[in-house]
Every structure is written in structure tokens, then in C-alpha cells.
């Protein structure tokens, strides 16, 4: 081997060495967190290149999130240099989009097909259910959407689903599935699950296409293999050519790495089976087990091992480290989520004296909504932070509107997008006009966009002259921008369409302060488009939309600023590492999540999620909880997470083991560690006790002091600030108000609890 190759092996332990140099049969690397699985994968690629066994363009490496893919690409590039650009290092979804765009003729679909995200898909499903005259109360479109997603993850076609359906309910779902897919097809669109399923079908049904890719990709590598679902599993098999032995092309070399203790996507159909039965699926497979952890100190590892070892039926593995005990894990029981946020902020502040920079710190939470209390304190104290995923930039109304315009430009048959902007901004095309056009489209089996063109040609009778004018103008707008788009950049097209449609002008003319920030957000989108053009000079509108569509909610922000605290959900954190980690919200009902507590298999998944959280930490780990946390404006008392109880006492230093408010309750309930996980449930009367303790702001008002509110009234909330009441339901003690606090934050508040003042 060359000097290059030798250098790649230096510093690897014997098992890692074996995994990096193995050739001749499929390779499985299984190991706990931080043992160098991703390192082995990247070094294996570099080693194959250095020894001349592979060319860069023969490599496809796949992982789950854009963030993980970017990180992997970076690691590979630092090992092999610019030739890394010729490899496919991407997520499952982007790899599939690339294949589908090239092979669109055999799919078949238009090369400019749209990709619908979850919200778009749910919208389309809602329309489908409406067409089926299903009562949304009895047949929830979101549930239908999830079930269809499950079907696709299992590669079950609408025909299969119909054949399997036994109950009426299942039959309805199967029918909705078929109609929903027809609607997608007609809109020349795919949802996220289609990207995988259609690629698998493409490769299975077109052996010559499959062979093209097999000839090209001689090295297939998959990180986080424990999170693959059935469709992804079949995709890997098809790429490798495991089921095709008379191809004249031998199967590609397959490497998968994973850890069944970190499987956290069962809700998307992931199955640990794929890793556990790898040796059965690939009979000549070679397995390497890694045991040394290089990431964390012993105290952190002991805490993580203790949490995961409570899961039944797992293969026990012992991770060890030679990096020493390190600092103890620090625990803190806060009174409320605000108190918890204060503790975290002050702790980060004092860590600065030990040369810990904000960029070294990550804070994890179970659900996105938990970021709010943290954000408030960081804004107030001026600590720099970023929220990964939770910003939901791409879910803001104005961004979705603008993207709908762009998609309508790129794909005239994209019905969901065109219907979204049909009367946005208001142009006199109300529900009735939409229904008339939609009915015509349905009757003539054409897309909504095509029906608009027909209307403009005078083919749809019964439209009022005013409606006709509006339709003509809308149609002309889209056509003009389409023409302009043929040789304009995505940013220019965006400007043109926002301008020509009157979208920005309407926002500017509004005196709602929110609309001002909407304009700013659109400017931000313009910046995204301009930046896209810099990184991809010949990228067209279709490429831009594809990039945007694939920025899954988890990872919209590039990882270039080392100077900010990172806030993210545990799901997003998988595969990453940070010197300092705060795992917040360690309460029963928060983490584990309330809906998982009564289900053994869901609880096991929550435990794996906790294992993922704890094992991200390199040097310092904090576990924090709040005794009272608000949801929907209602304070809830939550007992300590049962995961805390598993952690050996000697590795944790409790700064505060019992929250102030809890001390007022009978001591047997919470003052002893033994009571952790005792199943203590909040009772309404306890809220008053908390109030007496003065620990939290949440107070229960007497009936006569409940503010009387109505839609349109401005209010001031102690933590959310200024807001406008949208609607009030119920009376007196039962009154609930929906309040818009700006930026899309609409809260439902129980007036008897909410610290709300009428202005
Ligand atoms: P996860 O399960 O969380 O994805 P992983 O098994 O993929 O973890 P890596 O991210 O590859 O682990 O490695 C964890 C850390 O250990 C990284 O910082 C990596 O550089 C380091 N590391 C791995 N192997 C070695 C080694 N032989 N010598 C020094 N450092 C190592
Ligand atoms: Mg990894």
C-alpha cells in the first residue's frame, strides 16, 4: 500500500483496521455510540481510493439527515481532497431524486416533477378525502396521510392495499391512497416516501437501468443502517444487485454501519431487523464489532450505558474508554421551564471562564416547542444561539407561498401549489371560483392549471365577468413569469413573481407589523436563492426547488458558525458530537414523551433516544428537568424522568435535586431519589400548592377575575409578550382563547391560568 494508504490506517485500533481494510464480501460494522463507525466508513472510502481499488465516481455513501451527509462529505473531503466531489455522498432522499431526475422517462414522470413535503402531502390528502365525501371527524386526513406513508415505506401499492383491506375503514384508506396517488401523478409530483418507493420500483422493473447504476456504483456504503425502513432496505439491495445474479456485473461492495441501540425512527417504519439480520440477508457477510469509545469520558458513558441497559432483549455490549472519568454529570431540578432555561444560560456563562465557547455547547430537547423558553433567555442575556430545525423557516406562510409560486412556474400542473396561490394575494378568486375550476379539472381529468387555461379560453361556462378578469390576470402572470424564467436565475424569478403577482406590494401596503417581518423573511429567501446560485452556477429553478424541498425540517442551517449555542431535538442530534451537552426536559411526560409512557415498545424507543442524547457529549453532560412545565398555557407538574433513576448515583452531581416547589409537597413524593419513576401524576389541586410556594408564575384565577376577551383585543402575556386574540371559546372557568403572538405563534390559552392582561 502507498504511504497515503498507510497514513489512513495509522491510529486505528485493530477492529477498525480490520473494517477499513476488509474486501471481498459485504461488511457490517456494529458498535455503540462514539466508537468510530462513521470514521471507519469515511476511512474505508479513502482507503479504497488510496489503494486503487475504487475510483471516486464509483462510490455512493448514504445517510439520513442533510446535516449528517454534509458532515460525512466534509470528513471524506479532508481525507481525499477535491475528488470527493465526484462521489455521491447524500441522504437517501437526495440520492433518489438524482436518480429519478435522470431516469424520468422510465419512471415515468416529467423531469421537472415537484417534491411535496409533509404539509403539501397532507393538504393533498385533505382534498382527496373531501372528494371522497369523507367526514373529517370520522376519517382524519392526517391519519390517512400517515397510513399512506406507512404503505409506501413498506412498498405496498394502492392495489396491494385494496387487496389487503378487511374492515370498511381499511377499504376507505386504500381508496384514498389510490386517489391520492392519482392526484400526485396528475400534478407531476411525488411525496417524500415516493422518492424511495418509486426509485425501488424503477430499479426493480427496469433491469437495464439497475445495471447502469450497478456498473457505476461499485461501492455502496450506508451509515446509521439501524434506521432504514423496508423501502430503504430494498433500495440498498437493488443498488448492490443482491437479487440479480445473471447481470454480468457482480454485486457491488456493500458496507453498512449502525447501532441497534440508536434506532429512533420506528415511527417512520425503520426496523432494527435490518441490522440484526444482515448476516442472514447477505450470507457471506463479515461482521466487525467495535468496543472502544473515543468520544466521551467514563462518567458520561456510565450514565448512558445505565440508561440503555434497562431495555429488554438487546444484545448487551460494553463500551469502554481510556479517556478517564472526567467531570461528573451535572443534574439540576428546576421549578419551571423558565427556571431551567435560566440555569442553563448561567451555566454556559460561567463555563466561559473555563474557555468553553458557545459553539462547543448543544442543548437537546424532546420536542421543538421546548426551544421557546430557552430562546427567550438567550435573547435576553445576549447569548448567541441558533435553533436547528425549530426555526421552521420553510414552514412560514410567506415562504411556502413564495415557493408555491415558484413551483407553479416550474410545473404548470402542480395543482397543490397553484391552488395555494390561487387567491393569494386576494384577487377576487374565492372558494366558489376555485370549486368551479376544480370541478372542471376533475370532470375532464386535467390538472387544475390546465383547467384555468381552459377557463381563460372560455371553456368553463357560468363564471362571472369579474371572476373571468381575475382568472385572465392570474393566468397571464404565471405565463409571463414562465417566459421570463427560461433564462433567469432562481433569485430573479423569485423577485419577478413576487412583484408581478402583487404579493410583496400587498404585504408592504398592510399596516399589520407582522407583514413587515414577512417581507424580511422573503428577503431571506431571496438570499437563499442567490447563495444557491453561487454554489451551483448552472443550477436552474428546478434544481433550486429540489434543494429547498430536501432541506428536511431537521437541518436547514449550514454548520459554519462555531460561535453559537446549538439548540436541537434529539432526533436531529444523531451522529453528532459536542464538548458540552445539556439534555433538558428530563421529565416523565416530556422525555419519555407522554404518549409513549404506556407502550413498552415506544418506551424502549424513547430510551434509545435518551441514549443518543447522552452519548453526544464529549466532556460535560448536564441533565436538567422542570418540576412544572406549561403546555397550551396550562402548567403541568411532571415527575423526574424515569431515565434519571437508572443512572448510578456516583456519576451524578446534583446541583439541585428537588425543585423549590416540590419541597412544599409531602416529602415522600419527590425528595428521595427512590421515588423517581414512581408514576406520580399531577393533580389539579397541586397547581395551587405550587402557586402558594411562589415558585411559578402560573396562577389559577378566580372565576370573577378571568379577563373577558373577544376576537381582535390586544393582550399582554407574561412570557409570550404582546398578542392579538383570534377567538374565544367557552365561558368563565372554561374560557379558552386563541392568541396570535406574532411570527406564526398562535397559542391556545386557558384563561383561568394564563398570565394574561387585557390592554
Ligand atoms: P455514533 O454512533 O454517535 O454515530 P460513531 O460510532 O459513528 O458514533 P464517530 O463519530 O465515527 O463514532 O467517532 C466518534 C469520535 O471518536 C470522533 O471524534 C472520532 O474522530 C473519534 N475516533 C474514532 N476512532 C478513533 C481512533 N481510533 N482514534 C482517535 N479518535 C477516534
Ligand atoms: Mg456515526
Give residue 12's pLDDT band: very low, low, confident or very high (50, 70, 90): very high
Alpha-carbon distance of 74 to 282, in angstroms, equals 30
Q: Is the pLDDT of residue 661 over 90?
A: no
Alpha-carbon distance of 621 to 625, in angstroms, equals 13
Q: Is residue 61 within 8 Å of residue 45, measured between CB atoms? A: yes
Q: Is the pLDDT of residue 682 over 50?
A: no
Grid cell in block for residue 463? 363564471
Q: Is the pLDDT of residue 531 over 90?
A: no
Tell whether 37 is in a known binding site.
yes
Looking at residue 634, its pLDDT comes to 66
Give residue 552's pLDDT band: very low, low, confident or very high (50, 70, 90): very low
Is 12 a pocket residue for ligand 1 (Cβ < 6 Å)? yes
| Residue range 169-221, pLDDT digits in tens | 999 999 999 999 999 999 999 999 999 999 999 999 999 999 999 999 999 99
Highest mean pLDDT among 321-330, 349-358, 704-713: 321-330
Question: Mean pLDDT across the stretch 663-676?
Answer: 39
Alpha-carbon distance of 377 to 173, in angstroms, equals 45
Instruction: Name the region of 381 (left: φ>0; alpha: ψ -120 to 50; beta: rest).
Output: alpha
Is 323 a pocket residue for ligand 1 (Cβ < 6 Å)? no
748 counts as catalytic:
no
Question: Mean pLDDT across the stretch 667-687?
Answer: 31
Alpha-carbon distance of 74 to 61, in angstroms, equals 13
pLDDT higher at 331 or 530: 331
Is 575 a pocket residue for ligand 1 (Cβ < 6 Å)? yes
Atom of ligand 1 nearest to the CA of 292: 24
38 counts as catalytic:
yes
Alpha carbon of 36 to ligand 1 centroid (Å): 3
Q: Is the pLDDT of residue 696 over 80?
A: no
Nearest to 135 by CA among 161, 172, 180, 171: 172
Return the best residue to mutate from 17, 28, 32, 38 for the ligand 1 pocket (most ligand atoms within 8 A of CB).
Answer: 38
Alpha carbon of 640 to ligand 2 centroid (Å): 30
Q: Is residue 153 within 8 Å of residue 179, measured between CB atoms? A: no
Tracing cell 379539472 back to the chain, one arrives at: 441
Distances from the Cα of 757 to the Cα of 228, 236, 723, 740, angstroms: 50, 58, 10, 14
Alpha carbon of 384 to ligand 1 centroid (Å): 28
- Active-site choice (65, 199, 262, 637): 262
| Residue range 730-750, pLDDT digits in tens | 776 667 788 888 766 677 677
Looking at residue 672, its pLDDT comes to 31
Question: Mean pLDDT across the stretch 281-304?
Answer: 96
Q: Is the pLDDT of residue 256 over 80?
A: yes
223 counts as catalytic:
yes
Looking at residue 669, its pLDDT comes to 38
Tell whether 142 is in a known binding site.
no
CA 489 to chain centre: 29
Q: Is the pLDDT of residue 234 over 50?
A: yes
- Mean pLDDT, the chain, integer: 86
Instruction: Name the region of 589 (left: φ>0; alpha: ψ -120 to 50; beta: rest).
Output: left
List the single range of 66-80, 434-448, 598-612 with lowest mean pLDDT: 66-80
Tracing cell 456519576 back to the chain, one arrives at: 651
Question: Mean pLDDT across the stretch 418-431?
Answer: 94
| Residue range 453-497, pLDDT digits in tens | 999 999 999 899 999 999 999 999 999 999 999 889 999 999 999
Q: Is the pLDDT of residue 381 over 90?
A: no
Residues 128, 134, 136, 141, Cα dihedral to 10°:
-40
Atom of ligand 1 nearest to the CA of 576: 3
| Residue range 405-423, pLDDT digits in tens | 999 999 999 999 999 999 9
Grid cell in block for residue 722? 404582546
Nearest to 253 by CA among 32, 8, 39, 55: 55
Alpha-carbon distance of 78 to 55, in angstroms, equals 17
Instruction: Give the closest residue (by CA) to ligand 1 atom 31.
Output: 294
Alpha carbon of 230 to ligand 1 centroid (Å): 28
Tell whether 574 is in a known binding site.
no
Give residue 20's pLDDT band: very low, low, confident or very high (50, 70, 90): very high
Closest ligand (CA of 616) = 1
Neighbours of 489 (CB within 10 A): 18
Tell whether 38 is in a known binding site.
yes
Q: What percent of the chain is modeled with pLDDT above 70?
A: 88
Give residue 685's pLDDT band: very low, low, confident or very high (50, 70, 90): very low
Grid cell in block for residue 294? 473515543
Is 258 a pocket residue for ligand 1 (Cβ < 6 Å)? no
Is 296 a pocket residue for ligand 1 (Cβ < 6 Å)? no
Tell whether 241 is in a known binding site.
no
Alpha-carbon distance of 519 to 508, in angstroms, equals 8
Looking at residue 285, its pLDDT comes to 96
Looking at residue 559, its pLDDT comes to 45
535 counts as catalytic:
no
The upper half-sphere exposure of residue 371, i.e. CA atoms within 13 Å in the direction of its Cβ, equals: 21
Q: In what order do the strands lie in the sheet with 59-63?
A: 88-91, 59-63, 219-222, 253-258, 27-31, 286-290
Q: Is the pLDDT of residue 363 over 90?
A: yes
Q: Is the pLDDT of residue 286 over 60?
A: yes
Coil, strand or helix: which one is 309? helix
Could you report the predicted ipTM of this complex, rounded to two decimals? Answer: 0.99
Write the CB contacts of 116 (distance below 8 Å, at least 6 apart in sequence).
124, 184, 189, 190, 191, 192, 416, 549
Looking at residue 664, its pLDDT comes to 59
Write the CB contacts of 714 (distance below 8 Å, at least 6 apart in sequence).
722, 723, 724, 725, 758, 759
Atom of ligand 1 nearest to the CA of 39: 11
Alpha-carbon distance of 740 to 55, in angstroms, equals 56
Tell me the residue ranges of DSSP E strands in 632-745: 634-637, 652-656, 714-717, 721-729, 736-740
Show the DSSP H helices in 157-297 as ranges: 158-164, 168-186, 192-205, 207-216, 230-240, 273-276, 278-281
| Residue range 589-641, pLDDT digits in tens | 999 998 899 999 999 999 999 999 999 999 999 999 999 987 655 678 999 99
Alpha-carbon distance of 616 to 653, in angstroms, equals 19
CA 161 to chain centre: 27
Q: Is residue 62 within 8 Å of residue 90, measured between CB atoms? A: yes
Q: Is residue 415 within 8 Å of residue 449, measured between CB atoms? A: yes
Looking at residue 474, its pLDDT comes to 97
Is 295 a pocket residue for ligand 1 (Cβ < 6 Å)? yes
Q: What percent of the chain is modeled with pLDDT above 90?
A: 62
Coil, strand or helix: which one is 103? coil
Alpha-carbon distance of 511 to 507, in angstroms, equals 8
Give residue 376's pLDDT band: very low, low, confident or very high (50, 70, 90): confident
Amino acid at each position: 500500500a502507498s504511504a497515503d494508504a498507510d497514513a489512513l490506517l495509522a491510529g486505528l485500533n485493530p477492529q477498525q483496521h480490520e473494517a477499513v481494510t476488509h474486501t471481498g464480501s459485504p461488511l457490517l460494522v456494529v458498535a455503540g455510540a462514539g466508537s468510530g463507525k462513521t470514521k471507519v466508513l469515511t476511512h474505508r472510502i479513502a482507503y479504497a481510493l488510496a489503494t486503487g481499488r475504487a475510483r471516486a465516481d464509483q462510490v455512493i455513501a448514504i445517510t439520513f439527515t442533510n446535516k449528517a451527509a454534509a458532515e460525512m462529505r466534509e470528513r471524506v473531503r479532508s481525507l481525499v481532497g477535491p475528488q470527493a466531489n465526484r462521489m455521491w455522498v447524500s441522504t437517501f432522499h437526495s440520492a433518489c431524486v438524482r436518480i429519478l431526475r435522470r431516469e424520468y422517462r422510465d419512471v415515468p414522470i416529467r423531469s421537472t416533477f415537484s417534491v411535496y413535503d409533509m404539509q403539501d402531502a397532507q393538504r393533498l390528502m385533505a382534498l382527496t378525502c373531501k372528494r371522497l365525501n369523507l367526514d373529517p371527524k370520522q376519517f382524519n386526513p392526517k391519519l390517512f396521510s400517515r397510513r399512506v406513508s406507512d404503505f409506501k415505506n413498506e412498498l405496498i401499492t394502492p392495489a396491494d392495499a385494496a387487496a389487503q383491506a378487511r374492515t370498511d375503514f381499511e377499504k376507505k384508506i386504500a381508496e384514498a391512497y389510490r386517489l391520492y396517488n392519482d392526484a400526485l401523478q396528475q400534478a407531476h409530483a411525488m411525496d417524500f416516501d415516493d422518492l424511495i418507493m418509486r426509485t425501488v420500483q424503477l430499479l426493480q422493473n427496469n433491469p437495464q437501468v439497475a445495471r447502469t447504476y450497478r456498473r457505476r456504483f461499485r461501492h455502496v456504503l450506508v451509515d446509521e443502517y439501524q434506521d432504514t425502513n423496508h423501502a430503504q432496505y430494498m433500495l440498498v439491495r437493488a443498488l448492490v444487485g443482491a437479487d440479480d445474479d445473471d447481470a454480468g456485473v457482480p454485486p457491488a461492495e456493500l458496507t453498512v454501519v449502525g447501532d441497534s441501540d440508536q434506532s429512533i425512527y420506528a415511527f417512520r417504519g425503520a426496523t432494527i431487523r435490518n441490522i440484526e439480520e444482515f448476516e442472514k440477508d447477505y450470507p457471506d457477510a463479515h461482521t466487525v464489532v467495535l468496543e472502544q469509545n473515543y468520544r466521551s469520558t467514563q462518567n458520561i458513558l456510565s450514565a448512558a450505558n445505565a440508561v440503555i441497559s434497562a431495555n429488554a432483549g438487546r444484545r448487551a455490549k460494553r463500551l469502554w474508554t481510556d479517556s478517564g472519568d472526567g467531570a461528573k454529570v451535572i443534574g439540576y431540578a428546576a421549578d419551571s421551564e423558565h427556571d431551567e432555561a435560566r440555569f442553563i444560560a448561567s451555566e454556559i456563562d460561567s463555563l466561559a471562564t473555563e474557555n468553553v465557547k458557545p459553539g462547543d455547547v448543544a442543548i437537546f430537547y424532546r420536542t421543538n416547542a421546548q426551544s421557546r423558553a430557552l430562546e427567550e433567555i438567550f435573547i435576553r442575556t445576549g447569548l448567541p444561539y441558533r435553533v436547528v430545525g425549530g426555526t421552521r423557516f420553510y414552514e412560514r406562510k410567506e415562504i411556502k407561498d413564495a415557493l408555491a409560486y415558484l413551483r407553479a412556474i416550474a410545473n404548470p400542473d402542480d395543482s397543490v401549489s397553484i391552488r395555494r396561490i390561487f387567491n393569494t394575494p386576494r384577487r377576487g378568486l374565492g372558494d366558489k371560483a376555485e370549486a368551479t375550476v376544480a370541478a372542471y379539472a376533475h370532470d375532464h381529468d386535467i390538472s387544475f392549471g390546465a383547467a384555468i387555461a381552459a377557463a381563460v379560453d372560455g371553456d368553463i361556462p357560468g363564471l362571472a365577468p369579474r371572476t373571468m378578469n381575475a382568472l385572465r390576470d392570474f393566468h397571464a402572470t404565471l405565463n409571463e413569469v414562465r417566459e421570463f424564467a427560461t433564462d433567469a436565475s432562481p433569485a430573479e424569478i423569485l423577485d419577478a413573481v413576487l412583484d408581478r403577482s402583487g404579493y410583496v406590494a400587498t404585504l408592504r401596503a398592510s399596516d399589520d407589523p407582522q407583514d413587515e417581518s414577512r417581507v424580511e423573511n422573503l428577503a431571506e429567501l431571496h438570499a437563499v436563492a442567490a447563495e444557491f446560485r453561487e454554489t451551483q452556477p448552472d443550477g436552474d429553478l428546478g434544481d433550486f426547488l429540489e434543494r429547498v424541498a430536501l432541506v428536511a425540517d431537521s437541518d436547514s442551517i449550514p454548520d459554519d458558525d462555531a460561535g453559537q449555542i446549538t439548540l436541537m431535538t434529539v432526533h436531529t442530534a444523531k451522529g453528532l458530537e459536542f464538548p458540552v451537552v445539556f439534555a433538558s426536559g428530563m421529565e416523565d411526560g416530556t422525555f419519555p414523551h407522554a404518549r409513549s409512557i404506556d407502550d413498552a415498545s415506544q418506551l424502549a424507543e424513547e430510551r434509545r433516544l435518551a441514549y443518543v442524547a447522552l452519548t453526544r457529549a464529549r466532556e460535560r453532560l448536564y441533565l436538567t428537568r422542570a418540576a412544572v412545565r406549561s403546555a397550551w398555557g396550562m402548567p403541568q407538574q411532571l415527575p423526574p424522568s424515569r431515565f434519571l433513576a437508572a443512572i448510578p448515583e456516583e456519576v451524578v452531581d446534583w446541583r439541585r435535586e428537588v425543585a423549590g416547589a416540590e419541597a412544599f409537597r409531602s416529602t415522600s413524593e419527590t425528595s428521595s431519589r427512590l421515588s423517581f419513576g414512581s408514576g406520580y401524576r399531577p393533580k389539579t389541586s397541586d397547581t395551587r400548592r405550587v402557586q402558594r410556594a411562589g415558585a411559578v408564575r402560573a396562577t389559577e384565577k378566580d372565576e370573577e377575575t378571568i379577563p373577558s376577551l373577544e376576537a381582535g383585543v390586544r393582550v399582554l402575556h407574561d412570557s409570550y409578550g404582546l398578542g392579538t386574540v383570534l377567538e374565544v371559546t367557552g365561558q368563565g372557568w372554561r374560557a379558552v382563547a386563541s392568541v396570535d403572538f406574532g411570527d406564526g405563534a398562535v397559542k391556545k390559552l386557558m384563561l383561568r391560568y394564563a398570565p394574561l392582561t387585557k390592554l
